[in-house]
Amino acid sequence: MSSWSAGTYAAYYHDSGFWLDGILKANRFSQEIRGKMTGGGMHSGISAPWRWEQVFEEGKIWSQER
């Protein structure tokens, strides 16, 4: 099995206290499968799926000034 991944992260902060974070990531896994069937024949296959992930969070920082 082999795999690789790549991603990026971004953050935004505003003077009003508002913030936004984001992550975008791509993964790819590749594997070759070989096996012997019950009837004695050989069979093989390749699997190489992609997976995409994204996460976004937002919020506001509140302060209590006296």
| Contact criterion met (CB below 8 Å) for 26 and 51 | yes
Q: Which residue bears the tokens 């896994």?
A: 29
| Contact criterion met (CB below 8 Å) for 30 and 2 | yes
pLDDT at 66 over 80: no
Separation of alpha carbons 16 and 14, rounded Å: 5
Of residues 10 and 31, more confidently modeled: 10
In the chain, where the domains are located = 1-29+49-58
pLDDT digits (tens, 9 = 90+) for 43-65: 889 888 899 999 999 999 887 76
Quote the pLDDT of residue 1: 76
pLDDT digits (tens, 9 = 90+) for 15-40: 988 999 999 999 998 888 889 888 88
Of 50, 46, 35, 51, nearest to 1 by C-alpha is: 46
